[in-house]
A = this chain, B = another copy of it.
Amino acid sequence: MASPKVEQNRAIKAEAIKAEARLLLARDGASSLSLRAVARSMGLASSALYRYFESRDALLTSLIVDAYDDLGEACERSVQASAAWVPRARFAALCGAIRNWALAQPHAYGLLFGTPIPGYAAPATTIDAATRVPLAFAAILHDAPLESANDDAVPAGTLVDAALVAILPGQSRATHARALCTWSSVFGLVSFELFGHFVGSVADPERFFDVAVANLADLIGVPR
């Protein structure tokens, strides 16, 4: 029966721990993030953290949720800031927001979109936070008069229609498929840049990204 004040202190302290963990994550990456390292860098005994997090996995999960939320917020800010723009510019801005977020915290990006951590299974808790990015995309596409796509090319049963209708209502199955393809392509671009696969072929990553995003806008049929 924890009292309100105690609960509040706990929450504040847990936040401080997460903040420290985020710092270490940003500096050293996810795989070398340990409870002991966090405790050490806060001047605490490692056992003290167990008062706030059940295990290392619990801390990791909360970092993942935070990262998804942070990225989601960045996306939502971009969507709101571009409310008056033409769809193509909004799309480019959103993609740029994702790229900027990734460049600013590459290790957090890797935590979300890189190799899954072995032995760690993301619990359902993360889903809500993870959905904010696709929802931001949907918000832009929702009002844009997308070029029509041929539904025949997408057999029934390919997609989870209910989920996609909820996110991107009023669009055909083919458009849903294109949206998914485009969505993953944006992360393909960012991952390749961040993980070094464009070294030797792209000279100016930012400009290239802009060009590539324009290509992807064509792909999903955002009007010029």
Interface of A toward B, CB cutoff 8 Å? 28-32, 110-111, 113-119, 122, 127, 134, 153-155, 157-160, 163-164, 167, 174, 177-178, 180-181, 184-189, 191-192, 195-198, 200-204, 207-208, 211-212, 214-216, 218-219
What CA separation (Å) do A96 and B1 show in the bound complex?
Answer: 57
Q: Is the CB of A201 within 8 A of B163?
A: yes
Q: Is the CB of A185 within 8 A of B177?
A: no
Known contacts A187-B188, A212-B180; is-contact A116 B201 (Cβ 8 Å): no
One of B110, B118, B153 near A211 (C-beta < 8 A): B153
What CA separation (Å) do A218 and B181 show in the bound complex?
Answer: 12
Q: Closest approach, in angstroms, between the C-beta of A62 and any C-beta of chain B? A: 19
One of B30, B127, B201, B204 near A157 (C-beta < 8 A): B204
Q: Is the CB of A202 within 8 A of B180?
A: yes
Q: Is the CB of B185 within 8 A of A189?
A: yes
CB closest chain-B residue, reference A161: B203
Known contacts A153-B211, A207-B155; is-contact A118 B184 (Cβ 8 Å): no
Q: Closest approach, in angstroms, between the C-beta of A34 and any C-beta of chain B? A: 13
Known contacts A32-B118, A118-B29, A189-B188; is-contact A201 B218 (Cβ 8 Å): no
What CA separation (Å) do A22 and B198 show in the bound complex?
Answer: 26
What CA separation (Å) do A198 and B113 show in the bound complex?
Answer: 12
Supply 20 further A-B pairs (C-beta < 8 A) apart from A32-B118, A177-B212, A186-B188. Answer: A28-B118, A29-B115, A31-B31, A32-B119, A110-B115, A110-B116, A114-B114, A122-B196, A127-B200, A158-B203, A158-B204, A159-B202, A159-B203, A159-B208, A160-B200, A177-B211, A178-B215, A180-B202, A185-B185, A187-B192
